[in-house]
Amino acid sequence: MQKHVEIKNKIGQVLRGYLHVPNEYEGKIPAVAIFHGFTGNKMEPHFIFVKLSRLLENHGIASVRFDFAGSGESDGEFYDMTVTREIDDARCILDYLFSLDFVDKQKVSIVGLSLGGAISSYLAGEYREKLHKVVLWAPAGNMKEIAKNVVESNPLIKEKGYIDLGGLLLSEDFYYDLQKYDFFEAIKKYPNKVLILHGTNDTAVPVEVGRKYKEILGDRATLVEIEDADHTFNKYEWERVVLDKTVEFLKD
């Protein structure tokens, strides 16, 4: 079963998304919150989030996937988006998932892609006693470095206060807000299992970032490097590895 759902974030904006629930289940069931990446949405490229949610349904696992405020169909403007605001939205999404009466509160997990992966690694530390498992797809733990390169290559940001990213205006507030966060340090607090999936030909977030997460987490983490894959796994065979490994990890 797939249905449209709406919740409000802490400043009253409506976040729009989908709740997926297996058609048949008994008792409480596991559930997963899926967080999209920078400039992404609740479907992501080649509908990989939709495919993930439907696969999880088939294995008796519920899921939610929302657009963060300022992205997709949710309220707000992309210009106002910051990491702090997306973390606040992610908390609201998690709280909503925990509130559902059919969800097994001991088996709530998160999946995050790119910036959504960085946010997931931050929340893993914050919700360390509540989250069952964490899955990071090409996690942008190096987001500070990426943002710095973007800002330094666009000197007019100081004059205008924003950068035009293909029709989306990114405020300089995003860059300054980002300086507060250390995603690698945050995930050190998480005691449970983590799965990391990363393409070896990722030019947006190099595979070395995934390796750094693995190094930090040690035996708690499994790193799957997908040969030649790009940042969002834009090939059927790469996508299959990501989906199959993620579902296998979450259903165990």
126-141 tens-digit pLDDT: 999 999 999 999 999 9
Question: What pLDDT score does 148 carry?
Answer: 84
Task: Compute the average pLDDT of residues 196-208.
Answer: 98
Q: Where are the domains of the chain?
A: 2-142+183-251
pTM: 0.97
Question: Is residue 116 pLDDT above 90, yes or no?
Answer: yes
How far, CA to CA in Å, does 135 sit from each of 156, 166, 194? Answer: 37, 29, 6
Residue 99 — φ and ψ, nearest 5°? Answer: -80, -15
59-99 tens-digit pLDDT: 999 999 999 999 999 999 999 999 999 999 999 999 999 99
Cβ neighbours of residue 56 closer than 8 Å, sequence gap 6 or more: 20, 32, 62, 63, 247, 250, 251
Burial 206-224 (b: 16+ CB within 10 A, else e): bbebbebbbebbeeebebe
The SS3 call for residue 44 is coil
Question: Is residue 153 pLDDT above 90, yes or no?
Answer: no
Domain covering 2-142+183-251 in this structure, CATH number: 3.40.50.1820
Question: Is residue 54 pLDDT above 90, yes or no?
Answer: yes
How far, CA to CA in Å, does 99 sit from each of 40, 64, 65? Answer: 26, 12, 15
